[in-house]
Each structure stands twice: as C-alpha cells, then as structure tokens.
Amino acid sequence: MEQRISMTTLAVPDVAEARRFFEKGLGWKVNAAPSPEVVFFQVPGCVFALYSRSALADEIGREVTDNTTGAFTLAWNARSEAEVDEAFKTALAAGASPVKQPEKAFWGGYSSYVEIPGGHLLEIAHNPFWTIEDDGSITLPPPQ
C-alpha cells in the first residue's frame, strides 16, 4: 500500500451548517455534493468530506460516535505567524469557537485551535520547519 491518505471525512450533526462554514466563511469551493448529507471539497493531494452522522454510519455499517474532540484534529498550516492570526480571526467570523488563542508553541512554531461547526477541532498553525508548496501541500524535511 502506498504511503498516502486519499480522503479525510468528518461526521457532523448538520452538514448544511458545516458546509456554510467552509464554503461561505472560509471561501472553499465544493467539488461535489451527491446529497444534502454528503459534501466533497478538493484539497491539495486529497479530498475532504463532510457527512451527516447517519450517512457515515450507513456507509461504514456501524454507529458513529458524536465525540468530536477526542484524539483527532485537523490542521491548517499558514506560511507565517501573521497568517495564523488572520486565519484565526476569519475562522471565528465564519462561526468557529475559540479554543486556544494563537501563541508560540513548545515545538518552535505558532499555533491556535478553534472548534468548527459540528464540534471538530481545527488547529491553525505556522511550522517554520515545514515547507508549504505553491499548491498548499506540505513537504516535510528529510528524516534525520
């Protein structure tokens, strides 16, 4: 199996609200919405999907937890600390709730967290050790 992730899916209680957050609030473009319960966004190198909990449970064939702030977060990396500050403000204006204000991080970067509609956590960070390519994809430094 190749080392890659093809799609990240969030189960949300209200797909329309989560879609509005990404589409209207953050300016993302929907690539497909095969039903009111499923939305796909193209992101660099993979797909980001929003599913209603019931639609994802049907897809998987088992119940989907409503605990969204457990051991999973999404991250959006900025090219600078100033871009983190601006993206944090944009996310709040789009309907996210603040969890952690932007601040210097112990690992040498600059990081913040918001809770997006649907309850999932989104880290908005700048990592000075990672390269963000023109298309938005991340290139890690070589292994040491």
Query: Tell me: the pLDDT tens digits for 4-39?
Result: 889 999 999 999 999 999 999 999 999 999 999 999
For position 8, what pLDDT does the model report? 95
For position 142, what pLDDT does the model report? 87
- 10 Å Cβ neighbour count for 102? 22
For position 66, what pLDDT does the model report? 84
Which residues in the chain land under pLDDT 50? none
For residues 53-87, one letter each, b for 16 or more C-beta atoms within 10 angstroms of the residue's C-beta and e for the rest, the string is bebbeeeeeeebeeebeeeeeeebbbeebebbbeb
- Would you give the end-to-end CA distance of the chain in angstroms? 24
Task: Give CA–CA dist 64/56, Å, rounded.
Answer: 7
- 10 Å Cβ neighbour count for 127? 18
For position 75, what pLDDT does the model report? 95
Tokens describing residue 82: 């100033």
For position 36, what pLDDT does the model report? 97
For position 4, what pLDDT does the model report? 87
Query: Which pTM does this prediction carry?
Result: 0.89
For position 101, what pLDDT does the model report? 98
For β-strands 110-115 and 97-104, DSSP reports them as: antiparallel
